[in-house]
A and B are shown apart, each in its own frame.
Chain A
């Protein structure tokens, strides 16, 4: 069964001068346990598409079903709750609350969900160990490298036990070693834990690691290849 169903979605940004048709009639189904890369040149609509799937941005028309719920029908406050419960996010940068340590950052989203303290702590430590940061749990983001910060972000995204993780160009700011490490960690989690990842990139080394590659151009899907 598809965890994400994008049905004939369009997105038009209208400013006072121009209208930009950022996403055009996209149809996309993503199943539980997939490891999908959305690729395409800059401006092709990757961020827009992911934002709409994550409920961060409205669709102009069309529908998006997440685990059977049409999220285009949710109100702002319902959407916020929905995101917290079902979707994990990793952004390109600025992922972490700067005044909290790595551990506290991972725990925080669980405390919003009302998970008890003991379970929070155990799960956070386990997640940070899984991303290879067992020894940096008490560091604040400013003391971590960019790659380490992105790994904390992955751990944080998984903390709420989401249905899937959306990552918009998670490696854009990383060097090749960190990029590799992050991708290995994500892939590992996908294979071992069955975590569904949808991430965008225009980096060919990252594309190689994906099991399914959806290519966008001018807001349209021009190819969809599963290896």
Chain B
């Protein structure tokens, strides 16, 4: 056995170039497969997790009719009876009632369709970091001119790049200015003061609203202005209201910048007359109650099935013919479709990649077999069994695969670990494209898990198939012909 390992090992060094080609073929197959899959899984899971956790919830309690007909009329009462059930379920992390309805938003001559989101600002801040999306800095040509006039800044024209941009709270303005080449050592406080939006002070139970900055641009409204909302209220009432804008919002998802109007859920209930008075009691209504659970949101069916068990459980406890519980897969069909299309596109790419690389490896193995034909013939003539010959070739392939796998591990592990801990924020065109597709412009990697290793398995199967080809060739080798070749 030792001799056989020795022969296999030395054979690797016989034709260094061929060994290198084979090793790098396997390396790149593994490298791309792992990176692709990890990036895809990471990004999709992030996208899913964001949307599901922040907007739809893992589960929703709805009126039976609401899913097909999302009108205010199919709202549900938000009662102690329901909250008691939810509070007592230990699989639930938290829940948030929502009102979400289409309205016409207008100011003066302009009007546009928007979406009213009646939320609890506290929960929303915890959940989606709504406060981080509030626009903090804004520059326009007037402000830039005043900076140039009043402060001793020699390269103020750099600020022009930042004109008409809405920077939300997450944004590190100093860093961005620095990166653009702006002199941030002088007068920064004054410049910030000029750029800063008027201080936002909202009352938790007040009637003030936040709107997406693109909606504000369209309606030519600013912070502090009033917005008029017209919609269809509960049970045929007219919903009309005039609200003060306390802040503009800049979301990573573009669609939301164009149509979101956030208000406290109580304000939304008043606006839509979403309540019923029974004698002395008033029961308030919400469109649905979103629930976030302890379960992970992912494309894996196993994860989802666990959630479905909880769904059935909740439905039984609610014991109300009018109510239904819906899982996030049904609530996010669009995103799931996007992911599946993306997945199959990725599959085609990976398939082509594997095909090319398979032929690469196959080519080197065929070369190897024909080069050594005479030698194999001699070895067989001497009394070496075909099994041992096959073992030598197998060992060579195994060595090459191990070297490739090891290098891939060394190279990809840091990328995956870094890329999963610190999602890379995209800028420029790609970011805009993604944003238009309602995706967050983030590149995230998934650390190694079973679903990435299945790609590794595919590569190993390819190597194995090629190895089997080689073994079949060896077993069919004719001693005389090989010796004469």
- When C-beta atoms are compared, the residue in chain B nearest to A140 turns out to be B10
Q: In the assembled complex, which residues on chain B have CB atoms less than 8 Å from the CB atom of A84?
A: 382-384
Residues of chain A lying within 8 A (CB to CB) of residue B7: 97, 99-100
Residue of B14, B379, B382, B386 ringed by the most chain A CB atoms within 10 A: B382
Q: Does B385 contact A (CB under 8 A)?
A: yes
Chain B residues closer than 8 Å to A87, beta-carbon distance: 383
B375 & A97 in contact (Cβ 8 Å cutoff)? yes
Tell me the nearest residue of chain A to B479, going by C-beta.
A56
Contact A95 B383 (CB under 8 A): no
Q: How far is the CA of A77 from the CA of B389 in the complex (A)?
A: 13
With beta carbons under 8 angstroms apart, the residue of A57, A82, A94, A104 that contacts B480 is A57
Residues of A within 8 A of B (CB): 51, 54, 56-57, 77, 80-85, 87, 89, 91, 94-95, 97-100, 104, 107-109, 111-112, 156, 160
Q: Which of B3, B10, B382, B386 contacts A83 (CB 8 A)?
A: B382
Tell me, in angstroms, the Cα distance from A57 to B377 when the chains sit together.
12
- A51:B10 contact, CB within 8 angstroms: no
| Further pairs besides A80-B384, A84-B383, A100-B3: 5, Cβ < 8 Å | A80-B383, A80-B385, A83-B381, A83-B383, A91-B378
Contacting residues of chain B (382-425) with chain A, CB-CB under 8 angstroms = 382-386, 388
| Residues on B with beta carbons closer than 8 Å to the beta carbon of A82 | 383
B374 at interface, CB cutoff 8 A: yes
Q: Which residue of B lies closest to A166 (CB)?
A: B381
User: Hey, which chain B residues are within 8 Å of A111, CB to CB?
Assistant: 3
Q: Which 4 A-B pairs have the closest CB atoms?
A: A84-B383, A99-B10, A83-B383, A94-B374
A103 to chain B, nearest CB (A): 12
Interface size on B, residues (CB 8 A): 22
Q: Which residues of B contact A98 (CB under 8 A)?
A: 14, 375
- Contact A108-B14, Cβ < 8 Å, known A57-B480, A84-B383: no
A–B Cβ pairs within 8 angstroms, 13 of them: A56-B480, A57-B479, A80-B386, A81-B383, A82-B383, A84-B384, A94-B378, A97-B7, A97-B378, A98-B375, A100-B10, A109-B382, A109-B383
Question: What's the Cα separation between A156 and B381 when bound, in Å?
Answer: 13
Interface residue B219 (Cβ < 8 Å from any Cβ of A): no
Taking a contact as CB atoms under 8 Å apart, the answer to whether A77 and B385 are in contact is yes
- Bits for B49-66, please: 1 = Cβ < 8 Å to A, else 0: 000000000000000000
CA distance A94 to B381 in the complex (A): 12
**Beta-carbon nearest neighbor of B9 in chain A:** A99
Contacts of B479 in A (CB 8 A): 56-57
Interface-central residue, B10, B380, B381, by most chain A CB under 10 Å: B381
Q: For the complex, give the distance between the alpha carbons of A109 and B388 in Å.
A: 12
Shortest beta-carbon distance from B218 to chain A in Å: 76
CB nearest neighbor in B for A108: B3
Measured between alpha carbons, how far is A203 from B70 in the docked complex, in Å? 101
Nearest-CB residue, chain B, relative to A48:
B480
Q: Is B217 an interface residue (CB 8 A)?
A: no
* Residues from chain B with Cβ under 8 Å of A107 in the complex: 3
Q: How far is the CA of A108 from the CA of B13 in the complex (A)?
A: 20
B483 at interface by CB-CB < 8 Å: yes
B11 at the A/B interface (Cβ < 8 Å)?
yes
**In contact, B381 and A54 (Cβ under 8 angstroms):** yes
Q: When the two chains form their complex, are residues B384 and A112 in contact, meaning their CB atoms are under 8 A apart?
A: yes
Chain A residues, CB < 8 A from B10 = 99-100
Q: Which residues of A contact B483 (CB under 8 A)?
A: 56, 91, 94
Closest Cβ of chain B: how far from A139's Cβ, in Å?
A: 14
CB contact under 8 A between A89 and B381, given known A98-B375, A99-B10, A100-B7: yes
- B7, B13, B388, B483 interface centre (most CB from chain A within 10 Å): B483
Chain B minimum-CB-distance residue to A54: B381
* Contact residues in A for B379 (Cβ distance below 8 Å): 97
Cβ of A89 and Cβ of B11 under 8 Å apart? no
CA distance A37 to B318 in the complex (A): 102
CA distance A156 to B388 in the complex (A): 19
Q: Are B480 and A89 in contact (CB under 8 A)?
A: no
Contact in complex: B3, A91 (CB < 8 Å): no
Q: Is the CB of A51 within 8 A of B480?
A: yes
A89 to B483, CA, bound (A): 12
